[in-house]
């Protein structure tokens, strides 16, 4: 499939939040994005999304980076930390405000839920100031559908596509949808490979790219690793942390989960050999679309 971003040299990324150690679901996302980049002789960047201090675990960022290294997932260039990018986010917010694409909103989450769950534009014309308010993007570019290289055409409800969404919270913290778009735009990311739990916010991110006049990357949303009860493996669900001493079986299992059919004997190989096999044999078309229960989970 040819994408709008295919004319540029490939740049991918992995962007975990430091709310805890990496687990098997994290490894699936990291390995999938890594192999998609390396199989196309592309660059693979790492970003630590540390813009929500109350949810962060002390020492998690360093643990994440050493775990990636232990699993043979070496990145290009310097690691980006969102906590060092506040000035850039403020610059974009000011740009949006001056262009008339942003306004201040005092509506609470409770009020929005009582009105049906989607924001109805109540504060659009009130001319509020920033104090005590969230910043909302004035939605000029609603995106109702987009093409995912693995999942196919994705459509969303009109109410979601047309909603003015928050780009800076009432507490002053930057919203995920703002930070991720600005970082990926500035890093020249050409394709975003991540978990399918992030399918829904993609339409908002595409809308923000278009508002900023930036080139929209291609998208690949990988299947989620789930527990037997259907809940995804996550830090919030206390998924077991990856062991740096058990990298070889974890990599083999992640390759198998991603549909790449690694031979059993590969599990006994060196980590660099497992990674090399993965790059040489990577085929996105083999990756299953649907979420899966990893082997050994019950």
Express each pLDDT in 214-259 by its tens digit: 999 999 999 998 765 555 655 555 568 888 889 999 999 999 999 9
Mean pLDDT of the chain: 91
Query: Does the residue 293 lie in any domain?
Result: no
CATH of the domain at 199: 3.40.50.620
- CA-CA distance, 242 to 189, in Å (whole number)? 27
State the DSSP string of 36-51: HHHTTT-EEEEEE---
Query: Does the residue 291 lie in any domain?
Result: no
Query: Does the residue 213 lie in any domain?
Result: yes
- CA-CA distance, 287 to 90, in Å (whole number)? 39
- How many domains does the chain contain in total? 1
DSSP SS3 for 23: strand
Phi, psi dihedral angles at 9 (to 5 degrees): -55, 140
pLDDT at 297: 46
Query: Does the residue 41 lie in any domain?
Result: yes
Query: Does the residue 6 lie in any domain?
Result: no
Query: Does the residue 72 lie in any domain?
Result: yes
pLDDT at 294: 62
Express each pLDDT in 6-42 by its tens digit: 568 999 999 999 999 999 999 999 999 999 999 999 9
pLDDT at 236: 56
Find the domain containing 224 and state its range.
11-286
DSSP SS3 for 148: strand
pTM, entire model: 0.91
Query: Does the residue 27 lie in any domain?
Result: yes
Query: Does the residue 176 lie in any domain?
Result: yes
pLDDT at 245: 85
pLDDT at 232: 61
Tens digit of pLDDT at every position of the chain (298 positions): 334 445 689 999 999 999 999 999 999 999 999 999 999 999 999 999 999 998 999 999 999 999 999 999 999 999 999 999 999 999 999 999 999 999 999 999 999 998 888 898 999 999 999 999 999 999 999 999 999 999 999 999 999 999 999 999 999 999 999 999 999 999 999 999 999 999 989 999 999 999 999 999 999 999 998 765 555 655 555 568 888 889 999 999 999 999 999 999 999 999 999 999 999 999 999 999 876 556 544 3
CB 118 within 8 A of CB 228: no
Which residues lie below 8 Å from residue 262, measured CB to CB, with a gap of 6+?
Answer: 252, 255, 256, 274, 277, 278, 281
- CA-CA distance, 15 to 180, in Å (whole number)? 9
Q: Between β-strands 152-155 and 145-148, what pairing exists: parallel, antiparallel or unpaired?
A: antiparallel
Q: CA-CA-CA-CA torsion for 263, 260, 298, 68, nearest 10 degrees?
A: 90
């Amino acid at each position: 499939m040819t994408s709008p971003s295919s004319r540029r040299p490939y740049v991918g990324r992995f962007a975990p939040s430091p709310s805890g150690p990496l687990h098997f679901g994290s490894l699936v996302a990291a390995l999938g994005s890594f192999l998609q980049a390396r199989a196309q002789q592309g660059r693979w960047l790492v970003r630590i999304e540390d813009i929500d201090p109350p949810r962060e675990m002390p020492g998690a960022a360093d643990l994440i980076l050493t775990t990636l290294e232990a699993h043979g997932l070496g990145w290009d260039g310097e690691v980006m930390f969102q906590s060092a990018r506040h000035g850039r986010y403020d610059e974009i917010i000011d740009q949006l405000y001056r262009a008339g694409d942003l306004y201040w909103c005092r509506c609470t989450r409770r009020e929005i839920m009582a009105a049906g769950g989607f924001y109805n534009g109540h504060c659009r014309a009130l001319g509020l100031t920033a104090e005590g308010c969230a910043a909302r993007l004035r939605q000029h570019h609603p995106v109702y559908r987009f093409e995912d290289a693995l999942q196919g055409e994705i459509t969303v409800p009109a109410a979601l596509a047309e909603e003015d969404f928050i780009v800076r919270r009432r507490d002053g913290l930057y919203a995920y949808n703002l930070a991720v778009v600005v970082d990926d735009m500035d890093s020249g990311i050409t394709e975003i490979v991540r978990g399918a739990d992030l399918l829904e916010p993609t339409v908002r991110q595409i809308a923000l790219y278009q508002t900023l006049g930036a080139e929209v990357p291609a998208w690949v949303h990988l299947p989620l690793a789930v527990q037997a009860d259907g809940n995804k493996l996550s830090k919030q669900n206390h998924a077991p942390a990856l062991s740096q001493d058990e990298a070889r079986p974890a990599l083999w299992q992640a390759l198998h989960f991603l549909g790449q059919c690694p031979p059993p004997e590969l599990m006994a190989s060196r980590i660099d050999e497992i990674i090399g096999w993965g790059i040489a044999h990577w085929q996105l078309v083999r990756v299953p679309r649907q979420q899966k229960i990893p082997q050994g989970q019950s």
